[in-house]
Structure 1
Amino acid sequence: MLNKIRNIQWRQVAYFFLGLVALVGVGMLMSLVNKKDQVQVCSALKVMVEGQETFIDQNDITSMIKEKFGTVVGKPLNQLPLQQIETELKKSPYVSEADVHMDMDGTMQVAVQQREVVVRIISQNGQQYYVDSKSNKIPVTLKYVPHVMVANGYINEGYKKALEPVKSQLVKDLVKIVEDTKGDDLWSNQIVQLYVNDERDIEIVPRVGSQQLIIGNADSLSYKLDRLKSFYTHILPKVGTDAYSKVNVKYSGQIVCERNGDWFIDSLQMKMHTK
């Protein structure tokens, strides 16, 4: 009997009992936390709205939550459907992401990321909508008017429902032009508006000068913009801002200028054409 006792691996027995005690402790702790969650109530609602736009604010988010789920402050935590609240917030056409969780103090933390719009489209029949950075359509609201580029003219694609994707190549080209020029010092100051003429060519409406700046579509866009920059830096200073009624860079390798009904290509354009 004494030998059997001596042969017992007491260290392993000790580890076993320590593990058992730890397991029981964790179980008791989880039970206490669960009971606390059942009795603890939501003490406050904190909303943070992120993004450059101000389509919606904290009051809008609070009202949306109250309308769908009632007053959350004072409710037991186990009665708050956090995942459902997130899903409901994401249904707003102005919200790209939403995160809802409870902190240790019982405060419901709501973080909302707004969609970033790129351009405002006014279609040929007068329908208006925004296009966001993911090429989805965002409805116009009277509450907030973002400072983004406006494109109008002979644009057939209209608006049916929020978050539907852009379909026509024309509107996709308009979005590309805005995105490719917004970080440029010259174009961010010079481009006032985009216009689609009756030939479905895209024109830049300049801040300085009255000439039509025709780029056609967004194919080879950087090359077309470089030619327009050459026009502004090499030609315009010599002839003045109102010398031309039309400047066209839609044709490869050329800057075609029109004045008083006459078409001509100057020496600088011919050099560019032969490169």
Structure 2
Amino acid sequence: MLNRIRNIQWRQVGYFFLGLVGLVGVGMLMSLVNKKDQVQVCTDLKVMVEGKETFIDQNDISFMIKEKFGKVVGKELNALPLQKIETELMKSPYVSSADVHMDMDGTMQVAVQQREVVVRIINQVGQEYYVDSKGNKIPVTLKYVPHVMVANGNIREGYKKSLEPVTSDLVKDLVKIVEDTKSDELWSNQIVQLYVNDEKDIEIVPRVGNQQLIIGNADSLSYKLDRLKKFYTHILPKVGSNAYSKVNVKYSGQIVCERKGDWFIDSLQMKINKKI
């Protein structure tokens, strides 16, 4: 019997009992925390709205929660439908994501990410809507007007409901032009508006000069914009800003410039076209 006692690995026995005591302690702690959560109440509501737009603010989010779920501060935590609150916030056309959770102090933390709009569309009957970075339509609001490109003219696609996707190639091309030029130093300063003419060609409305800058559609866009840059760097300085009324780069491999009342390719333009 003495030998058996001596052969017992007391260190492992000690580890076993320490582990057992630890498990019991964790279980008791979790039980206390769970019990505390069941009786703890919401002590505060904190809202954070992220994104560069300001379609909505903290007050809007707080009001939306109160209107749908009542006053949350003072309610027991187990009575707060956090997932339902997130789902309700996501119904707003200006919200791209929402996260609602409780912290250890009983504060409801609400984080909302706003949608980023790219362009404002005004179609041929005067209907307006925004298109966001994911190609969805966002309703116009009087509360906030974002500083984005405006596209108007002969645009047929309208607006029926929020977050419906863009369907026409024309509006998709308008979005692509805005996306591809907004980070370019020249075009972000020079382009003030996009216009769709009677031939359904997209025109750039420039900040400097009064020429019609016709690019057609967004096919081979970088190539067309490069030709327009050549117009600004090689042709315009030599002929002056009022020499041409129209500059067309929709045709492959050339710049077609039109003087007031005449449509031709002059000798200077021919030299530029040979370099394209």
TM-score by length of 2: 0.96
Q: CA deviation at 1:272?
A: 4.6
CA contact (8 A) 1:253 1:272 kept: no
Alpha-carbon RMSD across the aligned residues, in angstroms, is 1.3
| Aligned amino acid, residue 34 of structure 2 | N
CA contact (8 A) 2:235 2:269 kept: no
| Aligned amino acid, residue 128 of structure 1 | E
Describe how 1:1-275 pairs up with structure 2 within 5 A: 1-275=1-275
Q: CA deviation at 1:6?
A: 2.7
Q: For residues 184-223 of structure 1, what are the alpha-carbon distances to aligned partners after superposition, in whole Å with 9 as ceiling and x for unaligned?
A: 2221121111000111100011112211110000011111
CA contact (8 A) 2:118 2:179 kept: yes
CA distance in 2 between partners of 1:266 and 1:83 (Å): 67
- Any gaps of 5 or more consecutive residues in structure 2? none
Q: CA deviation at 1:268?
A: 4.8
Q: Secondary structure at the match of 1:66?
A: helix
| Aligned amino acid, residue 156 of structure 1 | R
CA distance in 2 between partners of 1:8 and 1:50 (Å): 62
Q: CA deviation at 1:3?
A: 3.1
Q: Secondary structure at the match of 2:177?
A: helix
Deviates more, 1:75-84 or 1:111-120: 75-84
| Aligned amino acid, residue 140 of structure 1 | V
Q: CA deviation at 1:10?
A: 2.1
Q: Secondary structure at the match of 2:198?
A: coil
Q: CA deviation at 1:271?
A: 4.0
CA distance in 2 between partners of 1:195 and 1:28 (Å): 69
- Any gaps of 5 or more consecutive residues in structure 1? none
CA distance in 2 between partners of 1:4 and 1:185 (Å): 86
Q: Secondary structure at the match of 1:25?
A: helix
Q: Secondary structure at the match of 1:210?
A: coil
Q: CA deviation at 1:2?
A: 2.8
Q: For residues 30-58 of structure 1, what are the alpha-carbon distances to aligned partners after superposition, in whole Å with 9 as ceiling and x for unaligned?
A: 00110111111111101111111110000
Residues 1:176 and 1:139: Cα distance change in structure 2 (over 3 Å): same
CA distance in 2 between partners of 1:255 and 1:11 (Å): 88
CA distance in 1 between partners of 2:117 and 2:253 (Å): 33
Identity between Structure 1 and Structure 2 (%): 88
CA contact (8 A) 2:54 2:144 kept: yes
CA contact (8 A) 2:234 2:272 kept: no
CA contact (8 A) 1:214 1:247 kept: yes
